[in-house]
Structures are given as structure tokens and as C-alpha cells.
Structure 1
Amino acid sequence: MDKASEQLMLIGGTALVYPQRAGEILRQAAFDSILYAQLVANKHAGSRFEQYDAWYAANREAFRQLGWIKLASTHDLKQLGQPVRSTQLQPLEAWLKMRAISPEALLTTVRAGLRRSAQGVDHLLKFSAQEQGQRSRLVVEVGLLKAGPTLDLCSITLQVDERISAVPLNVLLSEQVLRGEAEFDGISLALDNGRFEHQRTALQALMEDRNAQGDYRFDPYAPVVGATP
């Protein structure tokens, strides 16, 4: 991953890293598909926080219906903040290695994008965090768009032993807040452009309408309106 050429787009509860050189058609297909899959899952399975397994299944089925073909997937449980004792390659690491993904580089790009604006963090947490008393539940997805297009998406669920709204921004963007058991669901998808083409225009129009209603997308790199050049 060339961090200098990567940018971040927030789409609901997904933080998607994509190459700046990616063509508009490629980017739009990914952006629209990710939002569509989340909205379909919300409609058919309810809250991602309360019905995660059903929500996740509905989300992935929506990608399939759009013409995204599954290349690989993984499921893993990890204790965050603790050293890895096993010398065997674990499911998550095996998937990342197979897909040639550096998690450190990916997360560095995500954090760099989020640090550009406090609004970006607030936007992502609006869709990916739910406070439950003095604790919080996170259901966040980190993704990487590559040429093809292909998507590598990893959904992460965990409990945080404090209210997310009370965590300072600098701590939230560090690894200090990530402790305890986390569940990882990763999937790699390739778009069948032939199947997707006939619905491309209609999907884009529909997602533009839904975004206008729900403000699901946030671009940390977009020029600030009214800012002095």
C-alpha cells in the first residue's frame, strides 16, 4: 500500500481506504454498493448492534445480489491489547497475507483521514458505536478498494468499557481504547462488471437520494466550504 496515494471515505459504519488514482466509475461502484448493502441490512435485519449476525448476513447477501463475487472470507476472535502467544498463522492473519494487506499501513491511513476533521470521527461513530450504560458497543468496518474493482472488508465488533463520547479524540484514534475480545469477519469481493452494469445508473441515483436524506457519506479530504484558500 502506498500511503501517500491513498485516501479515506466514510460510508455509514465503513471506513474505506481507496487509491486516489482509482477511476470515478470504479470508486462510485464501491461507494454505492457499500451504502446499499448497509441500508438493505438495516431494513431486513434491524440494528447491527442488536442483531449483528443477521445484519452481517443480510449485508453480504446484498453485495452478492449486486454482482459482487466472494473470493475469500475469514472469521476470527482476538484478545486485543495482549501479546499473541500462538506461533501458528491465525485466520485473520492468513486472510490478510493472502490478500497482501498490511493492517498497520491500512489503519495508519484510516487514522490520518480521521485526524483531518473531528467531524469525521463523529460521523463514523454515529453509525458504528452504541453507548449502553457506561459501556459502548462498536460494530465498525474497515475496507480497502483495489483495481478490478475488488473490495476487502473487515467488520470488527467489540465492547469498550467506557462511554465512547467521553473518550478524548487523541485516545480514540490510538490503540489504547482497544482492549478485550474482538470479533473479526473479513471478506474479499470482486465485482462482476457485466452483472453490475445494467443497474449502475439506477443504483447511483438511488444512493444519492438516500445519502441526501441520511447523510451517510463523509469525505475527510473534501474542501471545507467557506475556507480561505
Structure 2
Amino acid sequence: MSFDPAAARDYVQALDLAGIPRKLVAQDAATDAGDVFDAAKSQARVIGSSLLSFAQGVDAGVREAISDSALLAQLVANKHASAQAAPLDWYAKYVEVLQNVGWVTQAGAWSDYTTQGTGAEVHEKIIEVLSVALGPSATAAAIVKSAIDALAAMKEGGSWFTIFSRESQHANIARFQVGIVETGANDDVFVSLLACLIKANRGITQVLFFKLQKEQAAFSASSAKVSINRPSLIDLGPTIRKKVRAYQTDYLSSILDL
């Protein structure tokens, strides 16, 4: 089925975000790095419970549109499903929103990586699994690793730490996404996205440093290679931005050069 920009615009405008919490982050929390997208640089940003990296060459308009559409998906999923009680339903809604705004994707199968590989802590396991999903793209893997390392090094009080911890950790459940945006031939845009789910016997704190084996926690993930309907997403950009503008301070971190 071909993508219908008019239907997508109607879809976005009809979404009801009323009741989604706001004023969760201090107004100056998003000032800990340059807040400008730059196609000449590899950059990263936390968007709710997602950590997205942007490879060099992805233009600023695309970065902004992808960031805003990922935020829209986060907000709608938050309203329709409990990340703690129904994390897979949450992710299904997240994917549904992205599909409706020009992301050519579908919810993939979940694999249990608990006993596979050597990753002792969550951030090590993410890098391990994503490196396989990204295949021979060493550059992409290095960018993702830099972003994860940057998030792991963030201190309490900054926008990255505050937003990601709040949106990804829910008692004994952690649910989050890590991805990288790249350009291909003919300026096509692709997102390699890894959705992660951790289930533990006790409360999860500092999720990236959570020791899976020691805590006997289960780690599942679902990876997808997503193509973006670039012209449609850019065209929808102003409509999506208008819808999410009031939530940006609370759910978007600063932009970090990698």
C-alpha cells in the first residue's frame, strides 16, 4: 500500500495527547550540549526511552523530523499502554505510530539473549547484539557505541540521564530502544533500531550498568532495519512538530556531538 501524506496528516492531527505528563524536567535541563542538528557531524539524542544516533551525512531536516516523529510515537504509546504491565503492547503501539508517519517498519520477533554472548552489563549486551544486527558496518557500530558510552557517562541532573532513566525504568522492568540513522544510495534514509526489554526479580536502577547475570535478569531484543519515506516525513514535519512542541522540554534531551 502506497503512503498517503494527506491521510498521515489527518492521523497526526487527530491524535489526542491530553493527559500526558508535562513539566517533568527543569527548563534548563536541556542546555548541557549544543542543541543544533548538523549534517556534517555524527550526533545523538535521547528521545524519551530511545537513544538515537545520526550518522554524518543525514541532513538536519531529516534528523529533526525523525526526532519529532519518534517523540510522537513515545507519547502515544505512553498513553495507550503501560510500559511496566504490558511492555510489548507499548512497543506495538510505538511501531504503529511510526508506520503512520512514514516509517516503513513492523514489530519484529523478540529473541532471548539472556545466555548468549559475554555481555555482563546491559550496555555491553546492547553493543554486542547491535554489532551483529548492523553486520559489517563498523562505522555505524562505532557511532552507536559512542552514543551508549556517552549516555552511560551522564550524571544525574542532565537531560540525557533524567529523561532516559524516567522513561525506560519501571520497577523490575526496563524497556528502551537504541538506533542509528544513516543515508544510503539516492539519499534514502534508514534506521537500524534495536528494541530492548529487561525483566528482573528486583527493581532496576542505573539500567545501563545493570548486571544481567548477577541479578539473573532476562534480556530480550527485537531488531529491525527501517526505511523512511523521506519526502513524506519532511512534508509532515511541521504538523508533527506542532503536535509535540509542548512536550519537547520534558521528553527530548540536548543534542550531543559524537
TM over 0.5, yes or no?
yes
Residue ranges of structure 1 left out of the alignment (5+ in a row): 85-90, 223-229
Aligned to 1:130: 170
Aligned to 2:223: 186
Rounded Cα–Cα distance in structure 1 between residues aligned with 2:89 and 2:199: 19
Q: How far does the alpha carbon of each residue in 1:13-41 deviate from its partner, in whole angstroms, 9 at most, with x for none?
A: 00111235532101111101111111122
Shift of 1:55: 1.4
| Kept in 2: contact 1:77–1:183 (CA 8 A) | yes
One-letter code of the match for 2:163?
H
One-letter code of the match for 2:254?
D
Residues 74-223 of structure 1: matches in 2 within 5 Å? 74-79=109-114, 83=118, 95-97=133-135, 106-118=144-156, 119=158, 120-131=160-171, 136-147=172-183, 148-165=188-205, 173-174=208-209, 177-179=211-213, 180-212=217-249, 215-219=250-254, 221=256
Shift of 1:192: 1.0
Relative distance call for 1:211 and 1:47 in structure 2 (3 A) is: same
Rounded Cα–Cα distance in structure 2 between residues aligned with 1:17 and 1:92: 13
Question: What's the Cα RMSD here?
Answer: 3.3
Rounded Cα–Cα distance in structure 2 between residues aligned with 1:121 and 1:160: 21
Partner secondary structure for residue 85 of structure 2: coil
Partner secondary structure for residue 110 of structure 2: strand
One-letter code of the match for 1:137?
I
Shift of 1:94: 5.7
Relative distance call for 1:103 and 1:24 in structure 2 (3 A) is: closer
Rounded Cα–Cα distance in structure 1 between residues aligned with 2:131 and 2:145: 15
Would you say 1:58 and 2:98 are equivalent positions? no
| Kept in 1: contact 2:134–2:192 (CA 8 A) | no
Rounded Cα–Cα distance in structure 2 between residues aligned with 1:57 and 1:155: 11
Relative distance call for 1:9 and 1:80 in structure 2 (3 A) is: farther
Q: Write 1 or 2 for the structure with the bigger share of strand.
A: 1
| Kept in 1: contact 2:45–2:252 (CA 8 A) | yes
- TM-score normalized by the length of structure 1: 0.72
Aligned length: 201
One-letter code of the match for 1:178?
L
Aligned to 1:225: none
Q: How far does the alpha carbon of each residue in 1:58-114 deviate from its partner, in whole angstroms, 9 at most, with x for none?
A: 111111110111399553111158659xxxxxx977643277786576234312244
- TM-score normalized by the length of structure 2: 0.65
Aligned to 1:9: 45
Relative distance call for 1:159 and 1:74 in structure 2 (3 A) is: closer
Aligned to 1:67: 102
Would you say 1:33 and 2:69 are equivalent positions? yes
| Kept in 2: contact 1:11–1:35 (CA 8 A) | yes
One-letter code of the match for 1:49?
Q
| Kept in 2: contact 1:74–1:92 (CA 8 A) | no
Partner secondary structure for residue 135 of structure 2: helix
Partner secondary structure for residue 221 of structure 1: strand
Rounded Cα–Cα distance in structure 1 between residues aligned with 2:107 and 2:208: 29
One-letter code of the match for 1:163?
G
Partner secondary structure for residue 212 of structure 2: coil
